[in-house]
Amino acid sequence: MKRFSLLVGFVSILIIIGGVFIFSNDSKNETEATPPNLPDSYEYYWGEGCPHCANVEKVLGTWDNRDKIQIDKKEVYKNQENAELFKSRVEYCELPNNQVGIPFLFTPEGECVVGDTPIINLLEQIKFEEE
């Protein structure tokens, strides 16, 4: 009888370990972030009344290359659809909560840039083909 109990215990442990392994692989596949469709243009997320966004807007308004690339401006305070897209872009980049904010730029390559100075610096570094 003791041997039977040991055998049942051993088989039970194998079943539990196998179940954990199977379910852990399934849940991993479900939780892995699928990349969103990358945009063809730059997506610029901003909020009305945001002073850092105003700094970027000022540069965008006077930037010599503003007509060479497409920048889709998306206000997030009043537009829920833009706010949801912003959230999905942040999740894609796996940014920690303390590094999330506006202004925010999502590039066609899937890069996330947060803050007025980093966005302005990135814009100034974009290389354009000579016309």
- Beta-bridge partner residues of 114: 104
pTM: predicted TM-score of the whole model, two decimal places: 0.69
DSSP three-state, residue 90: helix
pLDDT in tens, 51-79: 999 999 999 998 888 888 899 999 999 99
pLDDT in tens, 19-49: 444 444 444 444 444 455 788 889 999 999 9
Indicate the domain borders of the chain.
1-32, 42-125
Name residues whose C-beta falls within 8 Å of residue 77's C-beta, 6 or more positions apart in sequence: 47, 48, 49, 83
Which has more pLDDT, 18 or 118? 118
Q: What is the DSSP letter of 69?
A: S
Share of the chain above pLDDT 70, in %: 70
Cα separation, 128 vs 42, in Å, equals 15
Task: Return the CATH fold of 42-125.
Answer: Glutaredoxin (3.40.30)
Cα separation, 98 vs 43, in Å, equals 21
